Amino acid sequence: MELSITRPDDWHLHLREGELLEAVVPHSSNHFGRAIIMPNLKPPITTTLKAVAYQKSILKALPENCDFTPLMTLYLTDTTSPNEIKLARESGAVFGVKLYPAGATTNSQDGVTDLFGKCLPVLEEMVHQNMPLLVHGEVTSSEVDIFDREKVFIDTILGPLIQKFPRLKVVMEHITTKDAVQFVESCDEGFVAATVTPQHLVLNRNSIFQGGLQPHNYCLPVLKRETHRQAIVKAVTSGSKRFFLGTDSAPHEKRTKERSCGCAGVYNAPVALSVYAKVFEEAGALDKLEAFTSFNGPDFYGLPRNTSKIKLTKTPWKVPSSFSFALGDIVPMFADATLEWLPSDS
């Protein structure tokens, strides 16, 4: 079996910087046309000038004759100014502003501590500039169970935010629960959408512990119960325009994952399209795969769809055990496994 689909985009991608950037960017640029690039570097990308400089470093790291466009984002802080949002829109390089609740995930310590108390003028300017807010949807209070943090965020922050700013475009990123599915489906289409990762479509929280602790399946938001996974699969394979591809591919050196206090993040860029195709095939919804991978995202962001094509061929291929680079190794999702769908240029 062979599928030809419009070249996909990745609406949530971590590329890091330096040698790690150079090592991982080909795995995304080979098959994706564009990607929303996360700004949680050290230090974070908090200004338009930093975003443009980071974009240039990504473009420099691309393989020759590669037609890949990094779409940049700003890291929202308690001190971000409305004028910075205006500059970001005028730059033509920045396509979203990322909300990390302080302490929610990797390099989020500089994130927002009080969204409603410190960021209202910025949010108002984002509505005016039609600039999307990209949300890591978890509260960070130690009193809230880690498996409940997404639901509590919806109830206490995201729901009130949408009520206060109904015309603000919001992407709830890497959703993990049926609560998030239901919330997105309850909002006005075209203003609230969600990205979905490969791991949250095929793994549940058992995958972190089966056969011993599995650090390469540990990510934030953490994997949830099987009932939540099933709800997300049903949503994305339904044909709804509210959900689109966002891998949240997050590379870390092997030694920083396999240690006593390992990093959160799943490196899925090399296998993402294969996994998405498997999910849609098993749901009997291959006819809806292209919309999820290639149409819903650009339509939400108001960007043109890609015109080139890629091919997905149902042929077994083995995932490498790791990828080596100057500073060490990176272990991909499903390392050493055999997958069934192989992407290539059309």
Residues designated catalytic: 12, 14, 98, 136, 174, 248
State the Cα torsion 191-88-269-138 to the nearest 10°: -50
The tokens describing 14, both together, are: 């971590």
Burial of 163 (0-12, 13-18, 19+ CB in 10 A): exposed
The tokens describing 334, both together, are: 């499903």
Of 88, 163, 165, the C-alpha closest to 120 is: 165
**Whole-angstrom distance, CA of residue 128 vs CA of residue 167:** 9
**Whole-angstrom distance, CA of residue 243 vs CA of residue 318:** 29
Burial of 25 (0-12, 13-18, 19+ CB in 10 A): buried
Of 74, 10, 81, 5, the C-alpha closest to 40 is: 74
Rg of the chain (C-alpha set):
19
**Whole-angstrom distance, CA of residue 337 vs CA of residue 173:** 27
